[in-house]
Amino acid sequence: MNTDDNAVVEALRASLTENERLKRELAATADSLREPVAIVGMACRLPGGVRSPEDLWTLLDEGRDAITGFPEDRGWDVEALYDPDPDAHGRSYTREGGFLHDAGEFDARFFGISPREALSMDPQQRLFLETAWEVLERAGLDAGALRGSRTGVFAGVMYHDYGTGLTEVPEELEGFQGAGVAGSLVSGRVSYHLGLEGPSVTVDTACSSSLVALHLAAQSLRAGECDLALAGGVAVMATPSTFVEFSRQRGLSPDGRCKAFAAGADGTGWSEGMSLLLLERLSDARRAGHPVLAVVRGSAVNSDGASNGLTAPNGPSQERVIRQALAAARLTPAEVDLVEAHGTGTRLGDPIEAQAVINTYGKSRDAGHPLWLGSLKSNIGHAQAAAGAAGVIKAVLALGHGVLPRTLHVDEPTPHVDWSAGTVRLLGEARPWPVVDRPRRAAVSAFGVSGTNAHVVIEQAPDLPEAEPPEAADSDVPWVLSARTPTALAERARQLAVYAEAHPELDTAALGRALATTRAAMEHRAVLIGVGRDQLLDGARTLAAGETSPLVVTGRATGGQLAFLFSGQGSQRLGMGRELRARHPEFAEAFDAVCAELDARLPRPLRQVLDAEPGTAEARLLDRTEFTQPALFAFEVALARLLASRGIEPDVVAGHSVGEIAAAHLAGVLSLGDAAALVTARAGLMQALSAPGAMVAVRAEEDEVTALLSGHEHEVSIAAVNGPEAVVLSGVEERVLEITGALRAVGHRTKRLKVSHAFHSPLMEPMLAEFERVARGLRYERPRIPVVSNVSGKLAEGDDLVTAGYWVRHVRATVRFRDSLRTLRAEGVRTFLEVGPGDTLTAMVHENVSGDTEAVPAVRRDREESLSVRAALAALQVRGRAPAVAPHPRHVPLPTYPFEHKRYWLERTIVPQNDTAALVEDPAPDRPAEETRTFVERLAERPAEERRKELIALIVDLAATALGHDTTDEFDEETGFFDLGFSSLTAVEVRNKVNEICGTDANPMLLFDHPTPGMLADHLEELLFTTPTH
Amino acid sequence: MFDVDTYLKHLGYTGSLEPTPGTLRELHKRHMMYVPFDNSRNAAKGLAIWDDVDAGADYFFQALITEGRGGICHEHCGLFRTLLAELGFDVRVISSGVRGAGDEFGPDLEHMLAAVRLDGEDWLVDVGFAGPSFTEPVRVSEDVQRQNGFDYRVVEDGGRLVLQRRPAGRDWQAVYRFTLQERDLSEWKAIASGDNDDPYWHWAGEMIRAGTLIYGRAYETGQLLLVGRRYLRAEDGTDQARVLAKTAEYESVVRHVLRQDA
């Protein structure tokens, strides 16, 4: 072959390879476009008090009807609105519907939204926000961890009428109203408040909005545009205009019920709802261990096009959208068992829809396997923009339960449909799901008045292989709870206790892992550290009741650094570490490794001394410094390793005297071998010193003590400065006692320490040369984490820690522990963990450092060691340092966040003179006289308890206004004004407002003397309503 | 009876008694640490508090040193002035108008303090201001002087001088406005008797009227100030305010500030 031929063959080969590659890519693309999308979470608010999918199933199972009278707290004139005459202008001929009677309720503080802004927000935005949080929790996702993720939000919304009836927008709401009612903000708010960065889209296709949103979300996931998607819809009717409008069209059922596909169908019944699904690509959901409730097999959206009327349904278009969805799902009609229909109960629409279903699903299936047809609207009415996704929730529940729920109000199938044209049957009764040799499937329809049709096919979740049972090693996982407020925290505890009792099959460790890994960590925290179900449950009940227990650690997360403080001599005790060795392999292994290094350099194995029977000669060896120092070193290093295995690492370390060697080892200055050599040499050489000397602790300031040392420096030193009035003298016994005697004479307390030697004194000098020789033979590295030096009381720098000379100085010099603590505080340390067998250093922290700091000992003398460690870890966790916990391999459902609701609803009738007060009030009665009466006059008629609430609401509102709107989320009756950034000026402004509204003459220090809304309310109550007794 | 040695012992001061800036600084700080601000004996008196303005050093000494109580500005000022004069400092009474919540200054006689002239320079000496303000004397100069992380300076403003304070990382803010003109105690007596009733008393004036309890003192590295139930700690260049809603905590803080918990 010549070279040309070769080139041609090469080119051909390359082109074939390229073809293969393209084919593979094409196939991969096609696959990804059809990749099943998993439904991993569902949440809803529906008529009939339905607050969860479980509630919905109960309602379906009981065949309940959720239709009620019109809401009376929205400023609707319910009586005047009703007129049975369909032609009566401005009236509705029905006075029933399906309502979210608590649609105005919202936990504004949870989302950091000021009361004023909450009031201006469309309740649809608020419902969507809370439900979004909830659906993430239900899927076991930490909403906090989704910040910045490619999570999409697809919201179906069709009403924009909140606040539209107001003739006069209150001044305080100007500037909020635009965002308050914009439909785009329903999705936008969720993305904003949860920090989600995928597509954020509000869809308005009228009554198909939420199903179209679901379709778009699935497309977006398959296209790789997002990794997780919230899809659903919300409908709240802030005004009754849609009832009036459809009354004129005679489209409403007079009794407000949807009699879907029934002979008795007489129009639709409007209702409200919020329904939300959380979607994820199936492969991702499996990998992440998220619960797969069902799978979206395929979906389609089309339009009626130029049909026989803008708002009229169109059968052929409905058939087309069904066929498109089946094609997308790669299914034949006979492979679907149930259609959850649009089924609104209108005389025109239902027959058209039924015919389309018969023409598609009803053909080519045998009589034994009919297509079952039903509609949720028969129970809850037509939830409009929320209806499609609500139908999906119902279908998913039905797939899971293996039951075809009943459709209510079917006297007999509508005669306007030729039911014989295909095998379709109406679900007049609930039925068990027919046995099929494939996954169960259901399809859901929704049609918008705009002509936009949507159809979605879902499928039972594929079976999962049983997950590996978790290892028993961490069977003592604590229960962690957090919330935005202390009251919500208590409620969470109550929920957990109830839930854990109702689910004895869930083991406590599984619950612990789920609590730690599938819930967002919020500022108010509690850790239940009991061992075993009973203790944990007791803890939860204790917390719920607002009581305290050593097994319940509570606190508030703060920023700041964590320091480890390694204890020095005096804290040792016989048997220390024995229990930790037995219970925690991480401790035992580290301890063994340290002992191996130490024992090679000690006259007898350290463990023999530590484990000796109390009272024996061997036991007494522990108080000989040659063993004390290595024993502390071994215990502290092993303890630090145990903490590291729980994911707790310090930002900075310090030690007291010999403790600094453990700190230096942890910081990477000395290898284990070299650290062991240093500590044993130090201990052994000190032991060999002949003059024992004395050490005395003195309650006096350093300067005063120093003055007395003058002329005795060769005999006595200040061994340590542990606090503002905590100094330790050390040296020749006679001299030390003489000086401390003088101190006692002028009123200072002194205490002689039980020590074998006068450490950090001139008496150490004979050992320094030999110690330096040993120290010179060691290798020092720069510390990997900052270490505070005893010698300087500052962060180690230069020659500190890394030279033999430093460690020699360290033996002789004053332990500047007080300065060390101040340095740590200045470095931003707010949490101190004492790593040692006692709590000596913890007490010193309390003595030296004030303000928002916490110090805890890892092990307490008076407690079981492992319980101590649990308590210490819990204390760190509530401060914001969470130990690492492995997720549970299976999804463990947990109660969702107990939102703390307040009602926010803009009334049509605003009292102009007192708008501030009117805003926080319940609906202002529209008696004309009311408008001219003052806030105080109106309050005077209320019972005292209600009055107090009103006053608190007023004060919180004024405070929120004074502060601007971003810092009010924390406000409740116990919040200190000055804890939230109040200045003297804002305090005076609020005082001025209070005087203006209440007609009081309070002085400018009002908020200084009554520093919380609750205290101020009590003060005002007394000023305004307490009758003088004389 | 006023007694220098007893006074110095109360302050725990054993250093030099030479009238130098060092002595002044140390005495000033120690006075603020060991003689707290406390208006509780006077809160109910309203403007009549000025009645005692010329009661004399013995009278103030009895209350603040012998009985170990705290006091208000003219008590501190009168006492400390006497000490400085005994030690040979050149000291005179001056007054200031305190900046109110709305940034306006109060009347000129609102607050009493002192000025000391040393080596040709004037120093502001003010141990009776609840603060937050300086704890060591501040030179009357535009030079920035740092204490406890806060910067201080004195600037001119239309014929008057303004003491400014700057927390770390924040802007300058006026503390009060003053002149170095020596005042006579009789000017304050006139307020108490109603002869000098400025119709518009500002912040501090209203504070006096309000009867709000104020406690304060310095410590080694900062200052504590309790106004009503608002507890302020000024340290490291930061004013940290906290509300003491719980009565037990409030009471324990009052004791702490008054050094009754030791």
Quick one: three-class SS letters along A689-757?
CCCCCEEEEECCCHHHHHHHHCCCCCCEEEEEEEECCEEEEEECHHHHHHHHHHHHHCCCCEEECCCCC
**How close are the terminal C-alpha atoms of chain B, in Å?**
26
Among residues A44, A215, A258, A342, the one annotated as catalytic is: A342
Task: Reply yes or no on whether the pLDDT at A1009 is more than 80.
Answer: yes
Mean pLDDT for A975-997 is: 75
Task: Reply yes or no on whether the pLDDT at B198 is more than 50.
Answer: no
DSSP letter at A669? S
Interface of B with A in 78-107 (CB under 8 A): 100-103
Counted residue by residue, chain A has a size of 1030
Task: Reply yes or no on whether the pLDDT at B63 is more than 60.
Answer: yes
Nearest to A122 by CA among A72, A160, A157, A96: A160
SS3 readout for A406-430: CCCCCCCECCCCCHHHCCEEECCCC
pLDDT digits (tens, 9 = 90+) for A124-156: 999 999 999 999 999 999 998 999 999 999 999
pLDDT digits (tens, 9 = 90+) for A386-423: 999 999 999 999 999 999 999 999 999 999 999 999 99
Q: Check if A382 is active-site.
A: yes
Q: Whole-angstrom Cα distance, residue B104 to residue B84?
A: 32
Q: Which of A851, A976, A985 sits opposite B243 (nearest CB)?
A: A976
In chain A, which residues have their Cβ closer than 8 Å to the Cβ of B224? none
Mutate to test the interface with A, among B207, B242, B243 (most CBs of A within 10 A): B243
In chain B, which residues have their Cβ closer than 8 Å to the Cβ of A1009? 210, 212, 228-229
Whether residue B209 and residue A974 make contact (CB cut-off 8 A), yes or no, is: no
Q: Whole-angstrom Cα distance, residue A51 to residue B22?
A: 72
C-beta of residue A96 within 8 angstroms of C-beta of residue A944: no
Helix or strand run (H / E) with residue B59: helix B57-61
In chain A, which residues have their Cβ closer than 8 Å to the Cβ of B237? none
Q: Check if A888 is active-site.
A: no
Mean pLDDT for B109-132 is: 91
Q: How far is A704 from chain B (nearest CA, A)?
A: 11
Whether residue A988 and residue B241 make contact (CB cut-off 8 A), yes or no, is: no
pLDDT score at A767:
96
Specify which residues A252 forms β-bridges with. Answer: A268
B246 part of contact set with chain A, CB < 8 Å:
no
pLDDT score at A912:
28
Task: Reply yes or no on whether the pLDDT at A26 is more than 60.
Answer: yes
Q: Whole-angstrom Cα distance, residue A709 to residue A712?
A: 5
In chain B, which residues have their Cβ closer than 8 Å to the Cβ of A988? 101-102
Identify the top-confidence range among A270-284, A305-319, A408-422, A960-974. A270-284
Backbone φ and ψ of A274, nearest 5°: -140, 115
C-beta of residue A377 within 8 angstroms of C-beta of residue A344: yes
Q: Tokens at residue B115, please? A: 């000025």
Interface of A with B in 706-725 (CB under 8 A): 724
DSSP letter at A262? B
Task: Reply yes or no on whether the pLDDT at A967 is more than 60.
Answer: no
Contacts of A375 (CB under 8 A, 6+ apart): A258, A260, A261, A340, A341, A342, A343, A344, A345, A391, A407
Q: Which of A977, A1005, A1014 sits opposite B207 (nearest CB)?
A: A1005
Q: Which residue of B lies nearest to A973 if distances are taken between CA atoms?
A: B245
Task: Reply yes or no on whether the pLDDT at B123 is more than 60.
Answer: yes
Q: How much is the pTM?
A: 0.70
In chain A, which residues have their Cβ closer than 8 Å to the Cβ of B228? 1005, 1007-1011
C-beta of residue A267 within 8 angstroms of C-beta of residue A254: yes
Task: Reply yes or no on whether the pLDDT at B116 is more than 90.
Answer: yes
pLDDT score at A463:
80
Over the range B76-107, which residues count as b (16 or more CB within 10 Å of their CB) and which as e? bbbbbbbbbbebebebbbbbbbbbbbeeebbb
Task: Reply yes or no on whether the pLDDT at A909 is more than 60.
Answer: no
A985 part of contact set with chain B, CB < 8 Å:
yes
pLDDT score at A965:
45
pLDDT score at A1030:
44
Task: Reply yes or no on whether the pLDDT at A590 is more than 70.
Answer: yes
C-beta of residue A127 within 8 angstroms of C-beta of residue A234: yes
Q: Check if B256 is active-site.
A: no
B241 part of contact set with chain A, CB < 8 Å:
yes
pLDDT greater at residue A947 or residue A263: A263
Task: Tell whether ipTM is more than 0.90.
Answer: no
pLDDT-above-70 percentage for chain A? 92
pLDDT band at A225 (very low <50, low <70, confident <90, very high): very high
Contacts of A309 (CB under 8 A, 6+ apart): none
Task: Reply yes or no on whether the pLDDT at A307 is more than 60.
Answer: yes
pLDDT band at A166 (very low <50, low <70, confident <90, very high): low
Give the type of residue at A732.
V
C-beta of residue A95 within 8 angstroms of C-beta of residue A84: no
* 3-state secondary structure (DSSP) of residue A103: coil
Q: Whole-angstrom Cα distance, residue A645 to residue A649?
A: 9
How large is the angle between the packed helices A984-998 and A1013-1025, nearest 10 degrees?
30
Specify which residues A556 forms β-bridges with. Answer: A524
Q: Which of B103, B210, B241 sits opposite A1004 (nearest CB)?
A: B210
Whether residue B242 and residue A985 make contact (CB cut-off 8 A), yes or no, is: no
Task: Reply yes or no on whether the pLDDT at A922 is more than 50.
Answer: no
Q: Which of B100, B220, B243 sits opposite A1011 (nearest CB)?
A: B243
Task: Reply yes or no on whether the pLDDT at A205 is more than 80.
Answer: yes
Whether residue B206 and residue A1003 make contact (CB cut-off 8 A), yes or no, is: yes
Mutate to test the interface with B, among A703, A978, A992, A1015 (most CBs of B within 10 A): A978
Q: Tokens at residue A719, please? A: 């061994």
Per-position DSSP letters for A552-588, written without gaps between them = EEEEE----EEEEEE--TT---TTTTHHHHHH-HHHH
Q: Which of A826, A1003, A1011 sits opposite B230 (nearest CB)?
A: A1011
Whether residue A1008 and residue B102 make contact (CB cut-off 8 A), yes or no, is: no
Q: How far is B100 from chain A (nearest CA, A)?
A: 8
Dihedral, CA of residue B226, residue B231, residue B233 and residue B237, to nearest 10: -110
- A99, A135, A155, A192 from A129: Cα distances, Å: 19, 10, 11, 10
Q: Which of A985, A988, A1012 sits opposite B245 (nearest CB)?
A: A1012
Q: What is the mean pLDDT of chain A?
A: 89
In chain B, which residues have their Cβ closer than 8 Å to the Cβ of A991? none
Among residues B111, B122, B202, B239, the one annotated as catalytic is: B111
Mutate to test the interface with B, among A1005, A1007, A1012 (most CBs of B within 10 A): A1005
